[in-house]
């Protein structure tokens, strides 16, 4: 039976059907409100996450000690931590080979900071995205192996059989990408997404895996009567990596991010403090700030600049060096946005010409910068609501990135293409993957990928319905109310913030820049809300609402707190609208 449309909205301005909570969810929320004395809207948010009245207090105040898994649950963990500690105690030469994204940089920084506290300096190596590509390569690993006794591969390495063999020294892999049936010849491979793991911890990012290894290392130190570095102070880096890598905010990830935001708010880490100042963050950090203000800047070095800039920023304890690196990354991020805009325009035009109604949307072009193809793939996915691949060619070889939609395991499909010989290499996880392909095999590879994705249901449905949580009056949208709702957070991947609807409103609007729309609306009780619709003019929202006149609209979106000039106000982030 099809759920009834919320407020009878069958086709919004973005052509979506609005779906509200069902009768059963409403009954459960009302029952929870009676039992717990919590606000009904907060109870509705908890019910949507499967929380019972008995579990509500623990959910609203997640404790890391209660949610942290035993590191030894992961295969090879005891072996990895013991080898790591042996290298520390005997002052062996340690190298860290990390991926060039936020997760890789954060993972490397965790190790560098921990080792520094133990009086050990490690060599940091991050491959160049263009010259070397993702993950360990034979020349780099062979050279590192000649000069070091132990190599730690973080956020990479699970599929790197030949490069790890070439190292000819002990290699420990700390990763989270999908593993193959056989593991590389490493001393230890710690990865919750190994084929022989049960998948219970498959939602962890690489930085979380590294953190668990450090937990086990500290435990082994205590067993020997020694004390390890303070791990709680490192949770700001784990939080940043979790959010930036779009890991689902469930289970221990919630606790990592929640506690990590508190650590970050203390502004004790030189690199993050400098980056926050450059990004003009003037209030306490939020998941949004991590994902959209800090994360892209940390990523910018790996995308179009010097690959190790992000990791160096996150690991430095020098305020002077931190500010210099933050300024450099901010400039690179501006340059990255310009490059991205050009590639996005060309890729979208190509994809539209090819057709965006199949199970896969893809585009490929000469000279497209490998550092932005992942972002552009995400934009194509958002525009088409289908898995998307974007590939940049340099000569005969193309390097690409892919992004998926909920319910479609893109990483597994890409990995299968690689095993079938259609790709030079490829791998990733459910929602994102990377690949290399020759120009000759590109058409066959994309045709085969579309076939595999179609079997998973990609493209079978139209645009997803817009799910809303509750109807709200502007009078009720107070800072106190938003604080209560945020106690069910942090919100992010797999745990979206509740979406509220304000019904039958009359707006005043003004355009901000080329793409955004500011709006204001209220009720007859004197309450008034300010809002913003980012990217409104990339959709039908901007033109329709800018020329609203005396028309009235239902508005759907999320509430957030905005602190400016010492005052905290509620801001509405508009996502969709429908004529009332």
In the prediction, which pLDDT does 53 show?
A: 96
pLDDT of residue 202: 95
Q: In whole angstroms, what is the distance from residue 577 CA to residue 307 CA?
A: 42
The pLDDT score that the predictor gives to residue 428 is 85
Q: Are 211 and 229 in contact (CB under 8 A)?
A: no
CATH number at residue 364: 3.10.310.30
Same domain, 212 and 281: yes
Residues 82 and 133 placed together within one structural domain of the fold: yes
Asked, for residue 38, whether it belongs to a domain, the answer is no
pLDDT of residue 463: 66
Q: pLDDT for 343-375, tens place per residue?
A: 999 999 999 999 988 999 999 999 999 999 999
Residue 350: per-residue pLDDT: 97
Percent of the chain with pLDDT over 90: 87
Whether pLDDT at 462 is above 70: no
pLDDT in tens, 400-410: 999 999 889 99
| pLDDT, tens digit, 9 for 90 and up, residues 33-62 | 999 999 888 999 999 999 999 999 999 999
Residue 465 pLDDT > 90, yes or no?
no
Q: For residue 2, what pLDDT is reported?
A: 63
Asked whether residue 433 falls in the same domain as residue 517, the answer is no
Task: Kindly state whether residues 565 and 448 are assigned to the same domain.
Answer: no
Nearest to 306 by CA among 131, 112, 115, 113: 131
In the chain, the N- to C-terminal Cα span, in Å, equals 26
DSSP code for 387: -
Task: Give the per-residue pLDDT at 461.
Answer: 62
- Whose tokens are 């552009």? That residue is 376
> Taking each helix axis from N to C terminus, what angle separates 319-354 and 270-278, rounded to the nearest 10 degrees?
60
Q: What's residue 524's pLDDT?
A: 77
Q: Are residues 382 and 432 in the same domain?
A: yes
Is the confidence at residue 1, as pLDDT, over 60? no
Q: Is the pLDDT of residue 232 over 70?
A: yes
What is this structure's pTM? 0.91
Whether 445 and 484 map to the same domain: the answer is no
Band (430; pLDDT cuts 50, 70, 90) = confident
- Domain match, 450 and 478 both: no
The last residue of a domain, from among 455, 482, 514: 455
Angle at 458 between CA 455 and CA 461, to 5 degrees: 120
Q: What percentage of the chain carries pLDDT values higher than 70?
A: 99
Average pLDDT over residues 437-456: 97
Final residue before a domain boundary, out of 397, 420, 455: 455
Same domain, 396 and 321: no
Tell me, what's the pLDDT at 549? Answer: 82
CATH code of the domain covering residue 554: 2.40.50.460
Range of the domain at 214: 67-330
The mean pLDDT value for 264-282 works out to 96
Taking residue 111's Cβ as centre, other Cβ atoms within 10 Å add up to 25
Per-chain mean pLDDT for the chain: 94
Q: How far apart are CA 492 and CA 496, in angstroms?
A: 5
What tens digit of pLDDT does each residue of 475-491 get? Answer: 999 999 999 999 999 99
For 418, the token pair is 């690689």
Specify the DSSP class assigned to residue 312. Answer: H
Do 138 and 266 lie in one domain? The reply is yes
Question: Total structural domains in the chain?
Answer: 3
pLDDT bucket at 431, cuts 50 / 70 / 90: confident
Residue appearing with tokens 């890391």: 64
Q: Could you tell me if residue 302 is inside a domain? A: yes
- Mean pLDDT throughout 411-421? 94
Residues 503 and 473 in one domain: yes
């Amino acid at each position: 039976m099809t759920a009834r449309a919320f407020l009878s909205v069958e086709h919004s301005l973005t052509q979506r059907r609005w779906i509200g909570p069902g009768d059963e969810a409403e009954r459960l929320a009302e029952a929870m409100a009676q039992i717990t004395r919590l606000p009904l809207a907060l109870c509705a948010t908890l019910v949507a996450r499967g929380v019972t009245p008995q579990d509500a207090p623990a959910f609203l105040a997640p404790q890391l000690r209660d949610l942290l898994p035993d590191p030894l649950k992961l295969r090879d963990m005891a072996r990895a931590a013991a080898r790591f500690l042996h290298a520390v105690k005997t002052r062996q030469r340690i190298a860290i080979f990390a991926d060039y994204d936020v997760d890789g940089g954060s993972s490397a920084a965790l190790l560098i900071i921990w080792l520094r506290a133990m009086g050990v300096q490690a060599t940091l190596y991050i491959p160049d995205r263009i010259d070397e590509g993702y993950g360990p390569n034979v020349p780099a690993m062979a050279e590192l192996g000649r000069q070091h006794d132990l190599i730690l591969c973080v956020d990479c390495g699970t599929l790197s059989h030949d490069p790890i063999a070439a190292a000819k020294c002990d290699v420990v892999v700390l990763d989270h990408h999908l593993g193959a049936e056989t593991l590389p010849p490493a001393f230890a491979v710690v990865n919750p997404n190994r084929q022989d793991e049960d998948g219970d911890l498959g939602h962890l990012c690489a930085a979380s895996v590294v953190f668990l290894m450090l937990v086990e290392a500290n435990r082994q130190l205590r067993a020997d009567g020694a004390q390890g570095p303070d791990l709680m102070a490192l949770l700001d880096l784990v939080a940043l990596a979790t959010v930036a890598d779009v890991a689902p905010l469930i289970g221990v990830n919630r606790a990592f991010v929640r506690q990590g935001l508190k650590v970050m708010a203390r502004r004790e880490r030189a690199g993050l403090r400098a980056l926050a100042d450059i990004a003009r963050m003037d209030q306490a950090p939020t998941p949004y700030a991590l994902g959209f203000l800090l994360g892209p800047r940390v990523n910018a070095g790996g995308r179009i600049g010097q690959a190790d800039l992000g990791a160096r920023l996150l690991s430095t304890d020098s305020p002077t060096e931190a500010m210099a690196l933050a300024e450099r990354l901010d400039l690179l991020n501006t340059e990255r946005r310009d490059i991205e805009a050009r590639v996005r325009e060309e890729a979208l035009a190509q994809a539209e010409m090819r057709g965006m109604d199949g199970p896969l949307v893809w585009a490929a072009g000469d000279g497209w910068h490998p550092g932005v193809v992942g972002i552009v793939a995400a934009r194509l996915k958002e525009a088409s609501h289908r898995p998307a691949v974007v590939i940049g060619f340099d000569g005969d070889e193309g390097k690409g990135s892919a992004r998926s939609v909920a319910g479609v395991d893109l990483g597994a499909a890409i990995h299968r293409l690689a095993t079938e010989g259609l790709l030079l290499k490829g791998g990733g996880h459910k929602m994102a993957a990377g690949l290399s392909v020759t120009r000759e095999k590109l058409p066959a590879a994309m045709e085969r990928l579309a076939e595999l994705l179609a079997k998973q249901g990609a493209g079978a449905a139209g645009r997803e319905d817009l799910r809303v949580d509750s109807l709200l009056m502007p009078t009720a949208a107070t800072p106190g109310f938003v604080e209560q709702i945020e106690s069910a957070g942090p919100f992010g991947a797999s745990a979206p913030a509740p979406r509220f609807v304000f019904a039958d409103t009359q707006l005043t609007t003004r355009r901000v820049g080329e793409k955004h729309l500011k709006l204001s609306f209220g009720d007859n009780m004197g309450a008034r809300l300010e809002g913003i619709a980012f990217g409104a003019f990339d959709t039908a929202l901007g033109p329709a609402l800018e020329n609203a006149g005396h028309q009235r609209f239902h508005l759907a979106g999320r509430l957030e707190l905005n602190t400016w000039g010492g005052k905290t106000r509620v801001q509405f982030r508009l996502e969709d609208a429908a004529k009332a």
